[in-house]
């Protein structure tokens, strides 16, 4: 029977070994620190929901990708594929237990049975943050500012948050009298960063005819700077002054807080999905734009429409944590977080095992992460273990030393030894060396 | 269409609102701090696994409770129901990427379609920690010591860790010549804390006959103290001196580290499951034993047998995080962690919105969690919002004050105002008041 089942994971799924999991948890901890400073609070929802809750009217791409099944009670259930839909359900259900405006964050796994050939995972972690219950420009800005601050906090410095206003795009579609094709057009324009302007133009021409495609391409092209882009948009859609007010107000925040280097007004941002009703945004890393947007979202003022009569306006953003982690690893900008303890206490004498535990206790009480070597093995084996793992410092103490109350510390990086230490001087020496 | 789907969660599942989720995340952060000090590192595994990986030979209670289905690729898959089985698969698969002894922790959700009438949830969070690759008594003790330190770190002081050695129980079964009934007997004895000695005795009598049931009850009864219990066990099973050595060695650690108040040798602990091969333990809160064990585990030396030929010995423990949270809430021993920000900046004048953001930025840079009120509403509405949420301090600044560079702070708990503050004195006053 031994070994009769081959250990393996499902395609599109993966284990997180200590190094990567440590990096991920550090990233999450940093983000949470920032969220809390902004007054955002955490929530959690079940991984499994009734399928009708998750799919609503259904019929989209999502239906095919969702993990859906019947439970033992014959309920039609599914695993969440994002954190937005469960949040809409959550807000409808708990409206009376919360005070608006409500700022929440939610960091959790979601599942999609996507095509793994594209290098995509079927299980990944999202990090969403939203302000609901306010339609103000101040809330719009705060989400953008939180995105900015979050990325800075994890060591990413060179990025650009591309912002647009869906109302302007809608105005264009109205003017061109192609509003009924908006879903298709949105999806097409959304591809521009991946496939380029020319291809989008030819795809649009098939949908709207060449002249209108020309007009759309003109609309989504940026000007020289913010003012230039606003000007171009006004010309393009023949907008009244009021129609560009919102984006101008947002830009004023960005200017007043000295953030213009990290933001750009980019009318080609549409976010594909139908439910956005105001600003929309995506974030690209200057040094690796090809990995796509690492943080995106927008304003949606009908979030809870499926579940409740009350319309709750909101604005929010989602960080693709796995994509961001890959970027942090590749750019090596993040702080190096090691999963390895700082000290190992070697096992020289079985009669000293409790003494080793007492030394470990003292070091841990001083904030020094310490592991003990539990087995009586040759010292060479123990040193080899510590070296391979990359533990920097080893505590060495045999019967003789113990009887004198003395301890030796060895720096495994420099091979230098520090002998004749007491418990007190041991921890000071460790702190000095780390 | 509006409100056409009733917002609801599945039976046995629940949302975590900010207060509870904040408490949970705080608990996890505290535990992680301790794990790291002990040199334990985090891992993660997929929520979904091949069903044969999770169920092995199958046939038990678990099969009926598992969430199992076929994915779009017609694979027989299931959601993990604990963290031990995925860890066994993980160890077999990544054996060559890890150095033994390997200390890992894993904090994650698991799912079981349990009977909800017993007040049980179908989705809950487990926190497992293990040392694998060592069969030493030192590793046994370190898991016990980590359990002790973890509970202390989250503010629980009065608890008792009940420890036994499965080898002693096995010796009893051998002596009574009822080893072939061990699974049934283990399951019965495991109920003693819930249903009492008398009921266990009568159940055992049906399985083994009255005389042998008497012997088992004698075995599982504690003596006056550790030495007394060891003595009683020796008499009960006619043990050679060597057979009680392991538990005596563990007890020496407990004595040397002054932990005897929180530990007891309790031969009635069997942990029901077949796979334990050495020490077993459960933890009860002195003030609420009825909620059951909050932290349990033991030594298993055949963890990876299903997936690999190499036997990797291990010892580990699992904290039921939801049960522990309930205890912390009820005992109110934990530190009160509020999900509410420390300061709210009220919205007096729409022309000052970016100024409010600058004040918020300054406070956040000083570690003060700050939310801004995004909408232009009556001051009474804003005060009411802050009061209901329990935000202690409000920053008040209108056009007049801004032009003089002055800010007013109001303590909403005492209703006292502090006017004429500058940005610098504002943050000092806030730090003084918090």
For chain B, give every residue range classified as CATH 3.30.930.10: 18-331
Among A3, A57, A142, select the one facing B309 at the smallest CB separation. A3
Count Cβ atoms below 10 Å from residue B286 Cβ, excluding itself. 11
Q: Does B67 contact A48 at a Cβ distance shorter than 8 Å?
A: yes
Instruction: Give the distance, in angstroms, between the CA of residue B129 and the centroid of all CA atoms in the same chain.
Output: 10
H or E stretch at A426: helix A423-433
Kindly tell me the burial class for residue A287, based on how many C-beta atoms sit within 10 Å of its own C-beta (0-12, 13-18, 19 or more): middle
DSSP strand E in A255-309: where? Answer: 263-265, 279-285, 295-300
DSSP string, B40-80: -EE-B--SEEEHHHHHTT--SHHHHHS-EEE-TT--EEEE-
Taking the C-alpha atoms of residue B44 and residue A330, their distance in angstroms, rounded to an integer, is: 21
Task: Beginning with the edge strand found earlier in the chain, give each strand of the sheet holding B407-411 in spatial order.
Answer: B370-372, B343-345, B393-396, B407-411, B416-421
- Cα–Cα distance for residue pair A410/B53, rounded to 1 Å: 43
Distinct helix (H) and strand (E) counts, chain A: 17, 16
Picking from A6, A46, A360, the nearest residue to B10 by CB comes out as A46
Q: Rounded to whole angstroms, how far apart are CA atoms A181 and B305?
A: 59
Q: What percent of chain B has pLDDT over 90?
A: 76
Of the candidates A128, A123, A135, A113, the residue with the CA atom closest to the CA atom of residue A31: A128
> A7-32: string of b/e by CB count within 10 Å (b at 16+)?
bebbebbbbbbbbbbbbbbbbbebbb
Query: Which pair of tokens denotes residue B433?
Result: 């008041």
Residue of B nearest to A12 (CA): B46
Is any Cβ of chain A less than 8 angstroms from the Cβ of B366? no
The DSSP symbol for A44 reads B
Helix axes B18-37, B321-331, angle to 10 degrees: 110
Task: Compare CB distances from A18 to B24, B41, B356 and report the shortest one's residue.
Answer: B41
Q: B51 falls in which pLDDT band (50, 70, 90)?
A: very high
List the single best residue of B25, B30, B42, B105 to mutate versus A (max A Cβ within 10 A): B42
Say what the pLDDT of residue A4 is. Answer: 83
Interface contact B427, partner A, CB < 8 A: no
B138/A46 CB distance under 8 A:
no
Please, what is the average pLDDT of chain B? 91
Mutate to test the interface with B, among A372, A383, A388 (most CBs of B within 10 A): A372
Using CA atoms, how far apart are residues A346 and A379, in angstroms rounded to an integer?
8
- Stretch (H or E) spanning A25: helix A18-37
Per-residue model confidence (pLDDT) at position B316 = 96
Contact B15 A99 (CB under 8 A): no
Q: Are the beta carbons of A370 and B306 separated by less than 8 Å?
A: no
User: Residue A32's closest CA among A138, A105, A131?
Assistant: A105
Nearest to A43 among B21, B252, B361 (CB): B21
The answer to whether residue A382 neighbours chain B at the CB level (below 8 Å) is no
Q: List where CATH 3.40.50.800 sits in chain B.
A: 343-433
Binding-face residues of A in 58-77 toward B, CB within 8 A: 64, 67, 69-73, 75, 77
Contacts of range A110-113, beta carbons closer than 8 Å, 24 or more positions apart? A110/A79, A110/A80, A110/A81, A110/A82, A110/A83, A111/A66, A111/A67, A111/A79, A111/A80, A111/A81, A111/B47, A111/B48, A112/A62, A112/A65, A112/A66, A112/A81, A113/A12, A113/A64, A113/A65, A113/A66, A113/A67, A113/B71, A113/B72, A113/B73
Q: For residue B269, give the 3-state DSSP assignment.
A: coil
Separation CA A391–CA A413 (nearest Å): 9
Measure the CA–CA gap between A239 and A229, rounded to whole angstroms: 13
- Return the bridge partners of A410, or none: A394, A417
Tell me the chain A residues in contact with residue B141 when contact means C-beta distances shorter than 8 Å.
Answer: 353, 357
Residue A320 pairs with which residues in a beta bridge? A126
* Chain A residue with the nearest C-alpha to that of B6: A307
- Sheet of strand A123-132: strand arrangement: A41-42, A102-111, A123-132, A314-320, A295-300, A279-285, A159-165, A263-265
Mutate to test the interface with A, among B23, B27, B43, B98 (most CBs of A within 10 A): B43
A381 interface with B at CB cutoff 8 Å: no
Q: What is the pLDDT of residue A303?
A: 80
Measured CA distances, A135 to A113, A132, A145, A313, B374 (Å): 35, 8, 16, 6, 9
Q: How far is CA B192 from CA B178, B198, B201, B287, B290, in A?
A: 19, 9, 9, 19, 12
Q: Which of B37, B64, B99 sits opposite A389 (nearest CB)?
A: B99
For residue A309, the model assigns a pLDDT of 84
Q: How much is the pLDDT for A352?
A: 94
Nearest to A48 among B10, B44, B356 (CB): B10
Rg (CA), chain B: 28
Quick check: B142 and A9 CB within 8 A? no
A327 CA: distance to closest CA in chain B (Å): 20
Helices and strands in chain B, H and E counts? 17, 16
CA–CA min distance A191, chain B (Å): 27
Q: For the residues of B325-357, what is the DSSP string, one character each?
A: HHHHHHHT-SPP---S-SEEE----GGGHHHHH
**Residue-wise pLDDT tens digits, B67-103:** 999 999 999 999 999 999 999 999 999 999 999 999 9
CB of B52 within 8 Å of a chain A CB? The answer is: yes
Provide the pLDDT for residue A43: 97
User: Per-residue pLDDT tens for B356-371?
Assistant: 999 999 999 999 999 9
Residues of chain A with pLDDT under 70: 1-3, 57-61, 241, 332-336
Interface contact B223, partner A, CB < 8 A: no
Instruction: Give the 3-state DSSP-derived string for A347-400, with helices as H, strands as E and coil as C.
Output: CCCHHHHHHHHHHHHHHHHCCCCEEECCCCCCHHHHHHHHHHHCCCEEEECCHH
Whether B268 and B192 have beta carbons less than 8 Å apart is answered as yes
Residues B234-267 as b or e (16 or more Cβ within 10 Å = b): eebbebeeebbebbebbbebbeebebeebbbbbb
Nearest CA in chain B to A308: B3
The residue of chain B nearest to residue A375, with distances taken between CA atoms, is B136
Q: How many CB atoms lie within 10 A of CB A221?
A: 15
Peptide bond preceding A101 in cis form (omega within 30 of 0): yes
Are B354 and A37 within 8 A, CB to CB? no
CA distance B43 to chain A (A): 5
Give B59's pLDDT tier (boundaries 50, 70, 90). Answer: low
Cα separation values, B41 from A125, A376, B142, Å = 20, 23, 15
Residue B12 touches chain A, beta carbons under 8 Å: no
- Please return the burial class of A343, using the count of CB atoms within 10 Å of its CB with bins 0-12, 13-18 and 19+: buried
Whole-model pTM? 0.93
* pLDDT for the residue A339: 85
pLDDT given for residue B323 in this prediction: 87
CA atoms of A110 and A127, how far apart (whole Å): 10
Tokens of A329: 């690893």
Contact by Cβ (8 Å): B9, A46 = yes
- Inter-chain contact B94–A44, Cβ cutoff 8 Å? no
Backbone angles phi, psi at A104, to 5 degrees: -125, 155
β-pair partners for A196: none
Contact between chains at B388 and A8 (C-beta distance less than 8 A): no
Of B9-23, B142-156, B168-182, B254-268, the least confident: B168-182
Interface of B with A in 99-128 (CB under 8 A): 99, 101, 103-104, 109, 111, 113, 123
A383 Cβ under 8 Å from any chain B Cβ = no
- DSSP class per residue in A183-205: HHHHHHHTTHHHH-HHHHHHHHH
* pLDDT score for B2: 57
- CB-based contact B41 A47, cutoff 8 Å: no
CA–CA separation, B122 and A39 (whole Å): 31
- Contact (Cβ atoms closer than 8 angstroms) between residue A78 and residue A55: yes
Q: Could you name the CATH architecture of A18-331?
A: 2-Layer Sandwich (3.30)
Residues of A in contact with B109 (CB under 8 A): 47
pLDDT at B30: 94
The residue in chain A having the minimum alpha-carbon distance to the alpha carbon of residue B113 is A72
**A73, closest residue in chain B (CA to CA):** B113
Relative to beta strand B123-132, strand B102-111 is: antiparallel
Q: What whole-number distance in Å separates Cα of residue B246 and Cα of residue A203?
A: 75
pLDDT at position A222: 85
- CA–CA distance, A368 with A326 (Å, rounded to integer): 29
Which residues of B fall within a CB distance of 8 Å from A341?
36, 39
Out of A5, A17, A109, the one facing B52 most closely (by C-beta) is A5
Going by C-alpha positions, the residue among A86, A84, A105 that lies closest to residue A94 is A86
Question: Which helix (H) or strand (E) element contains residue A314?
Answer: strand A314-320
Q: Which residues of B touch A137 (CB under 8 A)?
A: 353
Question: Exposed, middle or buried by CB within 10 Å (0-12, 13-18, 19+), for A358?
Answer: middle
- Tell if the CB–CB gap between B39 and A138 is shorter than 8 Å: no
**Of residues A379, A294, A368, the one with CA closest to residue B36:** A368
Contact yes or no for B252 and A9 at CB 8 A: no
Non-local (6+) Cβ contacts of A376 within 8 A are A347, A350, B136
The confidence score (pLDDT) of residue A227 equals 92
Mutation pick from B98, B142, B354 vs chain A, by most beta carbons of A within 10 Å, is B354
Interface check for B28 against chain A (CB to CB < 8 A): the answer is no
Count of C-beta atoms within a 10 Å radius of residue A77:
23
What number is the average pLDDT over the span B280-289? 93
The interface residues of chain A toward chain B in range 163-222, judged by CB-CB distance below 8 A, are: none
The encoded tokens of residue B84 equal 């031990």
Domain A343-433 part of CATH 3.40.50.800: yes
Mutation test of the interface with chain B: which of A1, A3, A5, A63, choosing the one with the most B Cβ atoms within 10 A?
Answer: A5
Question: How many Cβ pairs within 8 Å bridge chains A and B?
Answer: 301
**Is the Cβ of A2 closer than 8 Å to some Cβ of chain B?**
yes
Cα(A48)–Cα(A51) distance, integer angstroms: 9
């Amino acid at each position: 029977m031994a070994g009769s089942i081959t250990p393996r994971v499902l395609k599109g799924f993966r284990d997180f070994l200590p190094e990567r999991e440590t990096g991920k948890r550090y990233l999450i901890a940093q983000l949470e620190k920032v969220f809390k400073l902004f007054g955002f609070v955490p929530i959690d929802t079940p991984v499994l929901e009734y399928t009708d809750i998750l799919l609503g009217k259904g019929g989209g791409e999502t239906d095919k990708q969702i993990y859906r099944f019947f439970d033992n009670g014959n309920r039609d259930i599914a695993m969440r594929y994002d954190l937005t839909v469960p949040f809409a359900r959550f807000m409808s259900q708990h409206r009376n237990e919360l005070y608006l405006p409500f700022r929440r964050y939610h960091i959790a796994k979601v599942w999609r049975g996507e095509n793994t050939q594209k290098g995509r995972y079927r299980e990944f972690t999202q990090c969403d943050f939203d302000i609901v219950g306010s339609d103000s420009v101040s809330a719009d800005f705060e989400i953008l500012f939180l995105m900015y601050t979050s990325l800075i906090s994890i060591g990413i410095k060179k990025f650009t948050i591309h912002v647009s206003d869906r109302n302007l795009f809608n105005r264009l579609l109205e003017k061109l009298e192609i509003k009924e094709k908006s879903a298709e057009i949105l999806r097409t324009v959304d591809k521009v960063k991946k496939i380029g302007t020319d291809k989008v133009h030819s795809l649009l021409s098939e949908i709207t005819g060449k002249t209108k495609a020309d007009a759309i391409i003109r609309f989504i092209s940026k000007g020289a700077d913010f003012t230039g882009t606003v000007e171009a948009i006004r010309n393009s859609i023949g907008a009244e002054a009021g129609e560009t007010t919102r984006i101008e107000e947002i830009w004023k925040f960005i200017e007043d807080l000295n953030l213009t280097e990290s933001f750009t007004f980019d009318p080609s941002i549409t976010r594909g999905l139908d439910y956005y009703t105001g600003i929309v945004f995506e974030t690209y890393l200057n040094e690796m734009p090809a990995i796509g947007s690492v943080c995106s979202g927008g304003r949606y003022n009908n979030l809870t429409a499926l579940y409740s009569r009350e319309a709750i306006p909101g604005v929010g953003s989602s960080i693709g944590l796995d994509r961001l982690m890959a970027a942090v690893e590749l750019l090596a900008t993040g702080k190096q977080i090691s999963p390895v303890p700082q000290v190992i206490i070697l096992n020289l004498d079985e009669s000293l095992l409790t003494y080793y535990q007492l030394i470990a206790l003292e070091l841990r009480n001083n904030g020094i992460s310490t592991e003990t070597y539990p087995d009586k093995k040759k010292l060479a084996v123990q040193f080899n273990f510590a070296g391979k793992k990359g533990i920097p410092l080893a505590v060495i103490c045999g019967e003789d030393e113990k009887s004198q109350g003395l301890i030796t510390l060895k720096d495994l990086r420099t091979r230098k030894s520090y002998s004749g230490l007491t418990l007190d001087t041991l921890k000071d020496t460790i702190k000095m060396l780390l």
